[in-house]
């Protein structure tokens, strides 16, 4: 039987939407099957079979159908990215976008996300690793948890805020009934929470996303790390984050306690580190390189392992709690033409 990772207890029957119009998901199913991976269609899972063929973005959906789609989103991250999410394009109409494109890299990331596994991800630029992270964090923010704090960190505060802005744009592209931008108070009036360039609050489930400023000194790095008491932490361009070793060492104990509480309450948790290659002659680049070298190497055969087996695999590594996910441009289907273009640019 296929493994369908999730947080909530599963409905009794799992169906597979092999009629999905998101062709990237269908192609991935055939790719994994050809590689001999038995668990090759978990990302096609759907619990409410009556939603097959229903467009969640249809403006004429009746209320009953919207409620069923909302419930599916709450229990099924794969449905959310496969059928619901749209990724805004530069210059596109506000609220529109292209469908989520599943790749070998973002599938591996998502598989680790739903199992709460810390991950260190290497992937060529413009291959969707940031979008994969932001779609996951949006799902957690809107559907997957309550009273959870999420942290975005980057080499500069402006870059953290830019990632939060991208998440807001993806949220804006959701159907209105799935955005959760406001709620109704006891007096029957609409309540909207204040949101800034640095934070985002959810008025319905009380989740909060906070951006972490970069540290200009060792003392500020220590303080920033100690203040990182969030169960979900995202470090982008980690190899360029000033004093990343101090920030991480200070943040790890706080994260450990927060993740224990999250696990106890059956809500998502985990650290994500994404980066382009750093300079090994710098303190930041060396520490990032050590982290990736100590991590457990990802293998697509792990799709045939269950959660306990993956956790045992990670637990057997005495040097790291991270899974190292690395995909080259060739592994993601790009060839010499792409490489030559990157050189020219």
158 and 237 inside one domain: yes
122 and 18 inside one domain: no
Examine residue 170 and state whether it is found in any structural domain, yes or no: yes
What are the angstrom distances between the C-alpha of 157 and each of 166, 211, 228, 324, 345? 14, 7, 15, 25, 26
pLDDT at 1 over 50: no
Asked whether 114 and 107 are in contact (CB, 8 A), the reply is: no
**pLDDT confidence of residue 185:** 67
148 and 292 inside one domain: yes
The total of structural domains in the chain comes to 2
Examine residue 96 and state whether it is found in any structural domain, yes or no: no
135 and 220 inside one domain: yes
- Partnered with residue 209 across adjacent β-strands are 150, 200
Asked whether 302 and 313 are in contact (CB, 8 A), the reply is: yes
Which of 26, 52, 84 is the endpoint of a domain? 84
pLDDT tens figures, 207-229:
999 998 877 778 777 777 766 77
Q: What is the mean pLDDT of residues 138-151?
A: 94
Examine residue 206 and state whether it is found in any structural domain, yes or no: yes
Tally of CA atoms within 13 A in the half-sphere of 152 that contains its CB = 27
For residue 34, give every residue at least 6 positions away whose Cβ sits within 8 Å of its Cβ, in sequence order, or none: none
Range of the domain at 124: 105-344
211 and 112 inside one domain: yes
pLDDT tens figures, 252-273:
888 888 899 999 999 999 999 9
42 and 113 inside one domain: no
Q: What CA–CA distance (Å, rounded) separates 229 from 308?
A: 26
128 and 197 inside one domain: yes
**pLDDT confidence of residue 194:** 74
Residue 92: pLDDT band (50, 70, 90) is low
Residue 94: pLDDT band (50, 70, 90) is low
178 and 75 inside one domain: no
Examine residue 130 and state whether it is found in any structural domain, yes or no: yes
120 and 220 inside one domain: yes
Examine residue 136 and state whether it is found in any structural domain, yes or no: yes
**pLDDT confidence of residue 15:** 95
301 and 198 inside one domain: yes
Token output for 164:
């939060």
In this prediction the pTM is: 0.91
Q: What CA–CA distance (Å, rounded) separates 284 from 292?
A: 13
Examine residue 282 and state whether it is found in any structural domain, yes or no: yes
pLDDT tens figures, 12-49:
689 999 999 999 999 999 999 999 999 999 999 999 99
Q: What CA–CA distance (Å, rounded) separates 153 from 299?
A: 27
Over the chain, what is the mean pLDDT?
89
For residue 265, give every residue at least 6 positions away whose Cβ sits within 8 Å of its Cβ, in sequence order, or none: none
197 and 275 inside one domain: yes
73 and 150 inside one domain: no
pLDDT at 71 over 90: yes
**pLDDT confidence of residue 201:** 92
Token output for 52:
């097959």
Q: What CA–CA distance (Å, rounded) separates 38 from 2?
A: 8
**pLDDT confidence of residue 244:** 92
Q: What CA–CA distance (Å, rounded) separates 247 from 227?
A: 10
Counting every residue written for the chain, the total comes to: 345
């Amino acid at each position: 039987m296929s493994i369908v990772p999730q947080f909530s207890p599963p409905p009794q029957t799992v169906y597979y939407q092999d009629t999905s119009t998101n062709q990237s998901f269908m192609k991935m199913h055939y790719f994994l099957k050809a590689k001999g991976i038995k668990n090759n269609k978990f990302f096609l899972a759907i619990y409410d079979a009556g939603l097959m063929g229903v467009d969640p973005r249809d403006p004429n959906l009746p209320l009953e159908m919207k409620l069923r789609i909302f419930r599916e989103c709450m229990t099924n991250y794969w449905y959310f990215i496969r059928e619901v999410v749209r990724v805004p394009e530069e210059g596109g109409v506000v609220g529109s976008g292209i469908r989520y494109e599943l790749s070998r890299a973002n599938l591996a990331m998502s598989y680790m996300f739903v199992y709460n596994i810390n991950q260190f991800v290497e992937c060529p630029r413009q291959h969707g690793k940031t979008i994969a992270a932001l779609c996951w964090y949006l799902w957690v923010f809107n559907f997957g948890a309550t009273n959870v704090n999420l942290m975005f960190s980057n080499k500069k505060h402006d870059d953290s805020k830019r990632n939060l802005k991208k998440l807001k744009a993806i949220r804006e592209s959701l159907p209105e009934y799935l955005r959760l931008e406001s709620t109704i108070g006891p007096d029957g009036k609409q309540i909207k929470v204040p949101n800034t360039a640095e934070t985002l609050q959810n008025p319905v489930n009380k989740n909060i996303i906070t951006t972490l400023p970069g540290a200009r000194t060792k003392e500020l790095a220590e303080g920033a790390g100690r203040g990182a008491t969030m169960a979900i932490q995202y470090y982008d361009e980690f190899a360029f984050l000033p004093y990343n070793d101090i920030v991480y060492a200070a943040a790890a104990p706080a994260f450990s306690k927060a993740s224990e509480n999250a696990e106890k309450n059956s809500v998502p948790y985990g650290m994500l580190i994404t980066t382009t290659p750093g300079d090994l002659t710098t303190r930041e680049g060396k520490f990032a390189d050590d982290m990736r070298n100590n991590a457990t190497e990802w293998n697509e055969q792990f799709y045939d392992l269950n959660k306990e087996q993956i956790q045992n695999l990670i637990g057997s590594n005495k040097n790291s709690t991270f899974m190292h996910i690395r995909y080259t441009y060739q592994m993601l289907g790009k060839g010499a033409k792409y490489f030559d273009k990157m050189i020219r640019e």
